[in-house]
A and B are shown apart, each in its own frame.
Chain A
Amino acid sequence: MMRMQNLSKIYRTHMIETHALRGFDIHVREGEFVTVTGPSGSGKTTFLNIAGLLETFNGGEYVLDGVDVKGMSDDARSRLRNEKLGFIFQGFNLIPDLNLYDNVDVPLRYRGLSSADRDKRIKDALAQVGLGSRIKHYPAELSGGQQQRVAIARALAGSPKLLLADEPTGNLDTQMARSVMELLEEINASGTTILMVTHDPELAVRAQRNVHIIDGQVSDLVKKMPSLFDVKAAHAPAAATVA
């Protein structure tokens, strides 16, 4: 599904060079739920931005669903992002002036789908996250957990190959965080690949696999069995993690 090999990212100012990622390797297979952890400044966000085609990289290779993205133009990356990726952010990032329906509509507009197709996808996605009856509401009228559900619906509506989540529960209380996590696990169970950055070790171990990043490099890869396809298993405590 996505593979990075020997990837490097360097931020340059006129004074210093910062190696955010170096010799970075990762391979996420179709249908996996992978969490990415690491201390602050380790390169998690840089990795997610590059994985989400929001930033370019300096060296190495990145192949997303069979497409080599190296050297791609900004427009081509935008189209690929729209077609293959879904985003969930810590701050929800809904557009406050648009109601739920129109918020979920945003990525579909850029794909040039027909009005009927968009309508069906929007309603289905909002129904899937349990907000089908509130399509005319505005984000400010919802709780944090509900807003994050809208963001998930927005990401799902485009039927992404890969769902990128950046601390999706970071701004939520425990109960809401749990329900959002359960929703993500359901989505993964239905076949969508998920790559989630998190600080929370509890959440990290709930995934099939945890990737730990330190100083811009993958420190270790830990496989966790059984898979979260089994919803019951999703609630089981972590079997093993690498600290």
Chain B
Amino acid sequence: MFHYYFLLGVRNLRRNPVLTALMVLTLAIGVAASVSTLTILHVMSGDPIPQKSQRLLVPLLDNGPARGYVAGAKPTDNQMSYRDAINLTLAKTGEHRTPVYGMAAAIEAPRPDLPVEEVNGLAVGNEYFAMFETPFLYGSAWGEAEDRNGAKVAILSRTKSEKIFGKENPVGRRVRMASQEFQIIGVLDNWNPLPRYTHLINGNGGSLSGQDEIFIPFSAAINLQLGPNGNVTCLAETNPGFQGFLDSECTWVQYWIETKSISDRAALKDNLDAYMSEQRKLGRFQRQQPAQLFNVMEWMNYLAVVSNDTRLSVWLSFGFLLLCLVNTVGLLLAKFSVRAPEVGVRRALGATQGDIFRQFLTEAGVIGLAGGLAGLLLALGSLALIAQQSKDLSVVAHMDWPMLALTVLLALAASLLAGLLPTWRACQVTPAIQLKSQ
């Protein structure tokens, strides 16, 4: 019978075409508004590495000065000092670990036709690539020895590699960066995690758009005295020179630790607390705060990657959808109320109240389906408009299959919900009265 009801529903779309168009449009606008904002929230707040996001942890060791500090307040900065980054690396804290800092340098390609360009990249430890499961197009990551020696090796992004070397495999070739020859040992395939969670605190391009074009060993960057291209927080006096900067309590390194299992997190926390206690003997960590650990999702939440505005807009758009739903209820009531004679005839010819209920609810569903498809087009259009507002939004304003399916399902659910009261009213028609009144 569903097939019969569905066909009747499709046929009845043509009946009261103005009312039908209004309903489809109302649903479509409501659904499009909700889905557009939800898409952005969905992309922004998605888990970029679900298979291990609980084991990838950011340690936060508050090394700010005690003066003026109110106990329990948040750390002044969310990054780490170079000293702590080195100490944690040398102590082989956790299963795997990597320091991360943003660097920028002029790069000269081995081609006379290409100009000298500034590239944005990351200085990282060799375990960065395995920890974040970066895909390699060519070559592979460097090893521990290169980290120890500060070897001048580099891994390029696919985009950068193709820009300099075209489609060929550049492994073994050299580029000149910061007046030094770097040997290319690998090329990352397209890898644009959203958000760019491995390096959320940065001064260039936000956490959503942009791409790291080159990766070099952390030790090599330090040896070349490549300053951080990003936020640096210094709350105390520092000694002059690069070495003075490295020895200071300035925070500018982001640090990641991977544990073997989720349950190792507590042990890691104890380990970090013990480390801070040791350091306090040297006069550091005067705020007496324990170490904090954040997994990927906690870290994104802590740094408020998804702003409250984004969440608010989702709530508002769902409020708007509710408004559209109420309107649809009214329109459906109008559409169904003129069908009382038909209900009377069908009841007289043997339809049960259940049959009428299913027929009219299916018809509401057909309107919902039409509204969903129209809503899909509107949502795609509005996302295209949103994408034009900023570079960051252009990255997140894309629909994936789950969101496409959600759009249609949302419209369907909305129409069925809106159809309940009008359908129930249709079922209450007294056939005897309807038949006589015609």
Residues of B within 8 A of A110 (CB): 346, 349-352, 355
Q: Is the interface of B mostly helix, strand, loop or mixed?
A: helix
Do A78 and B352 contact each other (CB < 8 Å), given the known contacts A54-B435, A93-B438? yes
In the complex, the answer to whether A52 meets B349 with C-beta atoms within 8 Å is no
| B350 partner, pick from A55, A78, A89, A94, beta carbons under 8 A | A78
Interface: B116 (CB within 8 A): no
Interface: B12 (CB within 8 A): yes
B236 vs chain A, min Cβ distance (A): 82
B356 vs chain A, min Cβ distance (A): 10
In the complex, the answer to whether B350 meets A111 with C-beta atoms within 8 Å is yes
CB contacts between A and B, total, < 8 Å: 69
A234 vs chain B, min Cβ distance (A): 27
Give CA–CA (A166, B4) in the complex, Å: 29
Chain A 81-95 near chain B by CB (<8 Å), digits 1 or 0: 111000101010111
In the complex, the answer to whether A81 meets B348 with C-beta atoms within 8 Å is yes
In the complex, the answer to whether B345 meets A106 with C-beta atoms within 8 Å is yes
In the complex, the answer to whether B431 meets A154 with C-beta atoms within 8 Å is no
| A54 partner, pick from B4, B348, B351, B353, beta carbons under 8 A | B348
Interface: A182 (CB within 8 A): no
Residues of B within 8 A of A111 (CB): 350
Residues of A within 8 A of B355 (CB): 78, 110
Closest to A73 in B: B352
In the complex, the answer to whether B349 meets A107 with C-beta atoms within 8 Å is yes
Instruction: Count chain B residues whose beta carbon lies closer than 8 angstroms to a beta carbon of A.
Output: 24
In the complex, the answer to whether A97 meets B432 with C-beta atoms within 8 Å is no
In the complex, the answer to whether B348 meets A52 with C-beta atoms within 8 Å is yes
Interface: B354 (CB within 8 A): yes
Residues of B within 8 A of A89 (CB): 435, 438
Interface: B227 (CB within 8 A): no
Give CA–CA (A109, B88) in the complex, Å: 76
B436 vs chain A, min Cβ distance (A): 6
Interface: A45 (CB within 8 A): yes
Interface residues of B in 326-342 (CB under 8 A from A): 341-342
Interface: A74 (CB within 8 A): yes
In the complex, the answer to whether A106 meets B349 with C-beta atoms within 8 Å is yes
Interface residues of B in 1-51 (CB under 8 A from A): 1, 4, 11-12, 15
Give CA–CA (A106, B346) in the complex, Å: 7
Give CA–CA (A89, B344) in the complex, Å: 12
Interface: B347 (CB within 8 A): yes
Residues of B within 8 A of A94 (CB): 345
Residues of A within 8 A of B352 (CB): 74-75, 78-79, 110
In the complex, the answer to whether A97 meets B348 with C-beta atoms within 8 Å is no
Residues of A within 8 A of B431 (CB): 54
A84 vs chain B, min Cβ distance (A): 10
Residues of B within 8 A of A74 (CB): 352-353
B413 vs chain A, min Cβ distance (A): 27
Interface residues of B in 381-438 (CB under 8 A from A): 431-432, 435-436, 438
Closest to B345 in A: A93
Max chain B C-beta neighbours (<10 A), residue from A54, A83, A107: A54
In the complex, the answer to whether B342 meets A95 with C-beta atoms within 8 Å is yes
| A83 partner, pick from B348, B350, B436, B438, beta carbons under 8 A | B350
Residues of A within 8 A of B1 (CB): 109, 112
Interface: A128 (CB within 8 A): no
Do A97 and B12 contact each other (CB < 8 Å), given the known contacts A75-B354, A78-B347, A106-B345? yes
Give CA–CA (A106, B11) in the complex, Å: 15
Residues of B within 8 A of A75 (CB): 352-354
Max chain B C-beta neighbours (<10 A), residue from A45, A55, A89, A109: A109
Give CA–CA (A82, B350) in the complex, Å: 4
Q: Write 12 A-B pairs (CB below 8 A) sorted by A numbering.
A: A52-B348, A54-B431, A78-B352, A78-B353, A87-B348, A87-B435, A89-B435, A97-B11, A97-B15, A107-B349, A110-B350, A166-B435
Report which A residues bind B (CB closer than 8 A).
45, 49, 52, 54-55, 74-75, 78-79, 81-83, 87, 89, 91, 93-95, 97, 106-107, 109-112, 154, 158, 166
Known interface pairs A55-B432, A107-B349; 16 further A-B residue pairs with C-beta atoms within 8 A, sorted by A's residue number: A45-B432, A45-B436, A54-B347, A54-B431, A79-B352, A82-B350, A83-B350, A87-B348, A89-B438, A91-B438, A93-B438, A106-B346, A106-B349, A109-B4, A110-B352, A158-B350
Report which B residues bind A (CB closer than 8 A).
1, 4, 11-12, 15, 341-342, 344-355, 431-432, 435-436, 438
